[in-house]
């Protein structure tokens, strides 16, 4: 993979390739002028939530030379036209000499769609205002360099924090080679996720379960372990409340899995079983006969699973696993966000199950500190959301 280009002053580098040029930072007056339009572009970008992976969510607003709105667009789905193309298509000839406000630097490479930087130049816009530079190594400032080299005025950094937050999952995958990981659990007020006898349905109320269904529709994959599959027989779909169904992933070292489970019915959503090299021949044969896709990894760990999912275009995954796998995922740095639904119930029981297995701590001062991002009410329950990824989430 090519290394990200460094932003800096200059003309061109060798072999005619454009050198990324530092875009002009807006003055306070310019920021005030373009901020409302950029916020509109961000609203448009969010309409692609759950549909654009492996691409980012992008919105675009086009104004004519007098400052009147003449076009809007957003990236609706991977492989479909980008936001700039949609907005320029609405604007037509009125885009000439106008301004394009885009939430992310226009792409400058040929992918499944043509470069947006060239579309902007062909439309004759005189100014491009972006919220942030694209961290994708194929772009990384070169799209802005093409525009500047052609004489287009470029401003960058309007609503940059909001843009980075919107595309935190995309930024994380591009920066690390792994999807952003969100670990979710529901527990009682005394920290139990099940009674000693295993009973766990339902700790949370209907409003919290609806929230989870919507969340599944926004992520690219939901991951569980073999233990959760055996004990709970989950469906792991959005129940039709999301824009599309996630890939359902089962991580099982041995493939000691029941022959009848809801995940084996793929009429609603696709299922992928990831296993290690020591998986049983019987388990392999059973999945093959059921028509369930499986993937062998050596080693088969949370890290290697995420790397494989990144190769499949996943920007964000949801861990809905048991305590042992959850602890392993945390220990390997595969979780950047936590979502804990806390029900006002007391379950008790020394042997009752808790959300996490052993994290290997010997001193309470070694415990990782998570940043609280928000608390909200879900019916009778409370949702706590936290993160530990300043670069991808807080920035």
Which of the residues are catalytic?
84
Among 92, 80, 83, 82, which residue's Cα sits nearest to residue 43? Answer: 83
Q: How far apart are CA 38 and CA 44, in angstroms?
A: 10
- Show Cβ contacts of residue 300 under 8 Å, excluding neighbours closer than 6 positions: 251, 253, 274, 275, 276, 277
Q: What is the DSSP letter of 301?
A: S
84-89 long-range contacts (CB < 8 A, ≥24 apart) are 84/58, 84/60, 84/116, 84/119, 84/120, 85/113, 85/116, 85/119, 86/60, 87/60, 87/61, 87/62, 88/62, 88/119, 88/120, 88/123
Q: How far apart are CA 386 and CA 380, in angstroms?
A: 20
- Show Cβ contacts of residue 167 under 8 Å, excluding neighbours closer than 6 positions: 56, 57, 104
Q: What is the DSSP letter of 390?
A: I
């Amino acid at each position: 993979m090519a290394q990200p280009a460094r932003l800096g002053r200059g003309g061109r580098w060798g072999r005619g390739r454009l050198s990324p040029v530092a875009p002009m930072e807006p003055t306070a007056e310019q920021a005030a002028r373009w901020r409302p339009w950029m916020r509109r572009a961000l609203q448009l970008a969010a309409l692609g939530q759950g549909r654009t992976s492996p691409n980012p969510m992008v919105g675009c607003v086009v104004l004519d030379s007098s400052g009147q709105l003449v076009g809007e667009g957003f990236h609706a789905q991977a492989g479909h036209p980008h936001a700039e193309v949609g907005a320029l298509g609405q604007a037509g000839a009125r885009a000439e000499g106008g301004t394009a406000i885009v939430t992310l630097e226009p792409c400058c490479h040929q992918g499944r769609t043509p470069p947006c930087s060239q579309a902007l130049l062909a439309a004759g816009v005189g100014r491009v205002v972006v919220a942030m530079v694209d961290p994708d190594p194929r772009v990384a400032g070169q799209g802005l360099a093409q525009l500047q080299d052609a004489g287009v005025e470029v401003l960058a950094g309007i609503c940059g924090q909001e843009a980075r937050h919107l595309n935190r999952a995309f930024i994380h995958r591009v920066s690390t080679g792994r999807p952003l990981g969100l670990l979710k659990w529901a527990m009682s007020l005394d920290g139990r996720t099940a009674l000693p006898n295993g009973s766990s349905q339902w700790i949370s109320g209907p409003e919290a379960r609806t929230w989870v269904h919507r969340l599944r529709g926004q992520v690219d994959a939901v991951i569980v372990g073999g233990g959760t599959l055996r004990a709970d027989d989950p469906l792991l779909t959005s129940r039709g409340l999301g824009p599309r169904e996630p890939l359902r992933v089962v991580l099982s070292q041995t493939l000691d899995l029941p022959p009848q489970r809801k995940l084996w019915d793929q009429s609603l959503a696709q299922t992928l079983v990831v296993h290690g090299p020591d998986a049983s021949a019987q388990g392999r044969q059973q999945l093959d006969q059921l028509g369930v896709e499986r993937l062998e990894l050596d080693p088969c760990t949370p890290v290697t699973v995420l790397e494989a999912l990144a190769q499949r275009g996943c920007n964000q995954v949801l861990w809905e696993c048991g305590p042992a796998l959850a602890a392993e995922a945390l220990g390997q740095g595969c979780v950047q966000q936590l979502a804990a639904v806390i029900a006002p119930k007391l379950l008790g029981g020394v042997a009752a199950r808790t959300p996490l297995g052993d994290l290997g701590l010997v001193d309470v001062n070694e415990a990782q500190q998570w940043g609280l991002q928000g608390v909200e009410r879900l019916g009778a329950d409370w949702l706590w959301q936290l993160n530990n990824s300043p670069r991808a989430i807080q920035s």
